[in-house]
A and B are shown apart, each in its own frame.
Chain A
């Protein structure tokens, strides 16, 4: 099966219709279908600022914070969702929040994000940079699901996060959060 994202040696990726050119951090240029490109609110905003007529010229939108390998990955996601997502009316803020936190991760996206955690983080950062809310939310949810299964020490180790608390501060927080620790206090009588 031939796809744009898998054509690793290609400098540009051809799509029918109006093309938007973007360049990654390394300077590699991708030519995207307008619909796909505009799923990024950042690109959409730039295009609107520039005026639609510039979409067909040779100008290249620089995405200086996105590495090529991550952009390729995101491109797969964008193309899939551009082809499969129904046109949705803009959601009210409340509905968006509900959707963000309540909806399960669709199967396709689960598979898509079934990659190394480092990659998920990079995709998440890139999605944040590109303002692709849905992908950003999916990544957040996925990482959160991973965090749920880890202890504090494991999280620190896994993500290389330094414990910058003083022992006193850590103890203080531990006290404050003792109510949700796993070990139940066996004290007092029940009501």
Chain B
């Protein structure tokens, strides 16, 4: 058995006197000059580090330097916020429910910014909410709850009942329910509460349907794995009273959803319907991008890493043709390249093994319109402004 005494082996790290420090508050405090390390830090590491800050903490540190600003402006830093996808999937998925209960993403926050809370604990949520409250009600715009707080193990029928987990997701979710109760009343009276990838959390909320019914939050499934999508909808369909809850699916999983629905014979004319201009209100899409991403620059940043990664050799003409077909407007080559690269995300060869079986069953001719829709949403996003510069 190895020695486990930190006291002996670590804190009294006698082999190197330089490094044996009993934690001064900082070397600056001791007048020893600035620390080094960040200048040599790989960007991926820096990114992982900064992602440990929650979304209320990240904006401030963007001001540290260009590199930090760049890292924090990347899509991975805002992955929970990039819901620039139109709401057609919602309509499609709600097919089995009552018709005519359309709801758009504009309900999320048509006029205001969104506060994303990427909390890691109930106390953190509470702290953030309290912080928001201090800023006054005008600052309370929309609340996005992110993450499932999953237990480590799950079995069918016991999705949110497993107490035997090293990470006590159940406990945290239970605490969150309390936070949620007063959040909805105190902090978000307009009911602009959204849940991002919170299917399990939502499952618990289902038991409090009256609250849920009153606030009618938006559910956003984003960048979740196929299994999560399937699980979510299995659950979703078992609760008819969710029929009035808008669901937005964005990111890669749109393809997953398409595959899933195809397998469920649930597509029919859903995709064709989704290109209906009624569902393509540019204002809505602009609002989505601007509100969810906080500002235009971030929205644009969604695509720059892709641009940097792939040397442009674009099929620009094709993209422009699509664009023209859809709207009759022109887009710049720069944006076209971004689209081209973005479409690569839909390349099934990029999928992991566990998804491939399902992906092989996808009729991509059915999926294609979704890609168009995504392009359209992007065109109507702040990216559009790039065409003017």
Contact = CB atoms under 8 A, between A and B. Distances in A.
Nearest to A78: B2
Interface stretch (B24-32, B233-241, B242-250): B24-32
Contacts of A5: 3, 9-10, 13, 15
Interface string B56-97: 110111111110110000000000000000000000000000
B4 to A, nearest CB: 5
Contacts of B62: 173, 176-177
B59 to A, nearest CB: 3
A110 to B, nearest CB: 10
Contact of A165 (B10, B65, B190, B228): B65
Interface in A162-191: 162-165, 170, 173-174, 176-177, 179-181, 184-188, 190-191
B14 A6 contact: yes
Contact of B11 (A80, A111, A164): A111
Contacts of B65: 156, 161-165
A44 interface: no
B9 A76 contact: yes
Contact of A114 (B23, B34, B56, B228): B23
B157 interface: no
A43 B171 CA distance: 38
Given A108-B4, A115-B23, A157-B34, 13 more contacts: A4-B3, A79-B2, A95-B150, A114-B22, A119-B21, A124-B37, A144-B53, A152-B63, A155-B64, A176-B295, A177-B62, A179-B294, A187-B138
A73 B294 contact: no
A190 B138 contact: yes
Contacts of B12: 6
B52 to A, nearest CB: 3
15 contacts: A5-B9, A5-B13, A8-B15, A72-B15, A93-B225, A98-B150, A108-B4, A116-B21, A116-B23, A147-B53, A152-B60, A173-B69, A179-B294, A184-B134, A184-B136
B42 A190 contact: no
A137 interface: yes
Interface of A: 1-6, 8, 36, 68-70, 72-73, 76, 79-80, 82-84, 92-95, 98-99, 101-103, 108, 111-112, 114-119, 121-122, 124-125, 128, 136-137, 140-141, 143-145, 147-148, 152, 154-165, 170, 173-174, 176-177, 179-181, 184-188, 190-191
B64 A140 contact: no
A6 B254 CA distance: 54
Contacts of A176: 59, 62, 294-295, 297
The 4 nearest A-B residue pairs measured at CB: A160-B34, A121-B37, A144-B52, A8-B15
B357 interface: no
B33 A160 contact: yes
Contacts of B388: none
A144 B167 contact: no
A162 B36 CA distance: 12
Nearest to A9: B15
B19 A191 contact: no
Contacts of B27: 116-118, 158
A152 B65 CA distance: 9
Interface stretch (B43-51, B177-185, B206-214): B43-51
Contacts of A80: 2-4, 6
Contact of B34 (A136, A158, A188): A158
A112 B135 CA distance: 38
A72 B13 contact: yes
B152 A165 contact: no
A158 B26 contact: yes
A180 B60 contact: yes
A103 B34 CA distance: 30
Contacts of B45: 124-125, 128, 136, 140
A99 B66 CA distance: 29
B113 A179 contact: yes
A99 B37 contact: no
Given A5-B9, A101-B120, A184-B135, A179 B2 contact: no
Contacts of B303: none
A158 B138 CA distance: 35
A159 B4 contact: no
